[in-house]
Amino acid sequence: MDSLMEPTLYTIKGMCILDNDGNRILAKYYDKNVFPTVKEQKAYEKNLFNKTHRANAEIIMLDGLTCVYKSNVDLLFYVMGSTHENELILLSVLNCLFDTVTMILKKNVEKRAVLENLDIVMLAFDEICDGGIILDADPSSVVKRVDLRNDDIPIGEQTVAQVLQSAREQLKWSLLK
Amino acid sequence: MSSFKRDKKEEEEGGSNPFLNLEKTSVLQETRMFNETPVNARKCTHILTKILYLINQGEQLGSREATECFFAMTKLFQSKDVIMRRMVYLGIKELSPIAEDVIIVTSSLTKDMTGKEDLYRAPAIRALCSITDNTMLQAVERYMKQCIVDRNAPVSSGALVSSLHLANTAGDVVKRWANEAQEALNSDNIMVQYHGLGLLYHIRKADRLAVTKLVNRLTKQNLKSPYAVCFLIRIACKIIEEEDAAGNSNAESPLFDFVESCLRNKSEMVVYEAAHAFVNLKRTNPRELSTAVSILQLFCGSSKATLRFAAVRTMNKVAMLHPPAVNVCNLDLEGLIADSNRSVATLAITTLLKTGAESSVER
- For the stretch A4-33, pLDDT in tens is 578 999 999 999 999 999 999 999 999 989
Separation CA A175–CA A161 (nearest Å): 21
- In this predicted structure, the answer to whether residue B4 has a pLDDT above a threshold of 60 is no
Nearest CB among B83, B162, B306 relative to A59 is that of B306
Residue type present at position A166: S
Instruction: Tell me if residue B37 falls in helix, strand or coil.
Output: coil
Q: Quote the pLDDT of residue B116.
A: 87
Higher pLDDT, B163 or A165: B163
Nearest-CA neighbor of B125 among B136, B114, B135?
B114
Are the CB atoms for B171 and B207 separated by under 8 Å? no
Q: Quote the pLDDT of residue A3.
A: 43
User: Could you tell me what percent of chain B has a pLDDT over 90?
Assistant: 49
ipTM at complex level: 0.90
- In this predicted structure, the answer to whether residue B121 has a pLDDT above a threshold of 60 is yes
B-interface mutation test, from A85, A122, A143, most B Cβ less than 10 A away = A122
Cβ-based burial of B221 (10 A; exposed 0-12, middle 13-18, buried ≥19):
exposed
Q: Quote the pLDDT of residue A161.
A: 65
Residue type present at position A155: I
A 10 A CB-CB count for B250 gives 9
Residues of chain B positioned with their CB less than 8 A from the CB of A3: 234, 237-238, 241, 277, 280-281
Q: Quote the pLDDT of residue A108.
A: 85
Instruction: Tell me if residue A69 falls in helix, strand or coil.
Output: strand
Separation CA B221–CA B235 (nearest Å): 16
- B277 and A149: CB-CB below 8 Å? no
Are the CB atoms for B166 and B138 separated by under 8 Å? no
| Residue B32: DSSP 8-state | G
Separation CA B274–CA B279 (nearest Å): 9
* CA distance to B170, B198, B269, per residue, from B167 (Å): 5, 12, 28
Nearest CB among B82, B157, B304 relative to A135 is that of B157
Q: Quote the pLDDT of residue B1.
A: 42
Separation CA B212–CA B201 (nearest Å): 10
Are the CB atoms for B158 and B122 separated by under 8 Å? yes
- In this predicted structure, the answer to whether residue B187 has a pLDDT above a threshold of 80 is yes
Q: Quote the pLDDT of residue B15.
A: 52
Instruction: Tell me if residue A16 falls in helix, strand or coil.
Output: strand
Go through chain B and tell me how many residues it has: 363
- pLDDT by residue (tens digit) across B49-69? 999 999 999 988 999 999 999
Nearest CB among B161, B269, B280 relative to A89 is that of B269
- B18 and A115: CB-CB below 8 Å? yes
Residue in chain B closest to A51 (alpha carbons) equals: B342
| pLDDT mean across residues, chain B | 87
Q: Quote the pLDDT of residue A15.
A: 96
- pLDDT by residue (tens digit) across B231-277? 999 999 999 988 888 876 666 788 889 999 999 999 999 999 999 99
Are the CB atoms for B70 and A136 separated by under 8 Å? no
- In this predicted structure, the answer to whether residue A138 has a pLDDT above a threshold of 80 is yes
Instruction: Tell me if residue B221 falls in helix, strand or coil.
Output: coil
Using the Cβ of A123 and the Cβ atoms of chain B, whether some distance falls under 8 Å is answered with yes
Separation CA B116–CA B128 (nearest Å): 17
From A168's Cα to the closest Cα of chain B, the distance in A is 20
B-interface mutation test, from A9, A62, A68, A149, most B Cβ less than 10 A away = A9
Residues of chain A positioned with their CB less than 8 A from the CB of B230: 86, 89
B-interface mutation test, from A32, A50, A58, A82, most B Cβ less than 10 A away = A58
- pLDDT by residue (tens digit) across B201-237? 999 998 989 999 999 999 988 899 999 999 999 999 9
- pLDDT by residue (tens digit) across B323-351? 888 888 888 888 888 888 888 888 898 88
Q: Quote the pLDDT of residue A2.
A: 46
Q: Quote the pLDDT of residue B137.
A: 87
Residues of chain A positioned with their CB less than 8 A from the CB of B305: 57-59
- A57 and B342: CB-CB below 8 Å? yes
From A27's Cα to the closest Cα of chain B, the distance in A is 7
From A174's Cα to the closest Cα of chain B, the distance in A is 25
Using the Cβ of A133 and the Cβ atoms of chain B, whether some distance falls under 8 Å is answered with yes
What angle, 0 to 180 degrees and rounded to 10, lies between the N-to-C axes of helices B118-131 and B134-148?
150
Question: Cis peptide leading into A7, omega within 30 of 0?
Answer: no
Instruction: Tell me if residue B278 falls in helix, strand or coil.
Output: helix
Nearest-CA neighbor of A81 among A12, A33, A132?
A12
A21 CB-near residues (< 8 Å, 6+ apart): none
Q: In what order do the strands lie in the sheet with A12-19?
A: A24-29, A12-19, A75-82, A65-72, A59-62
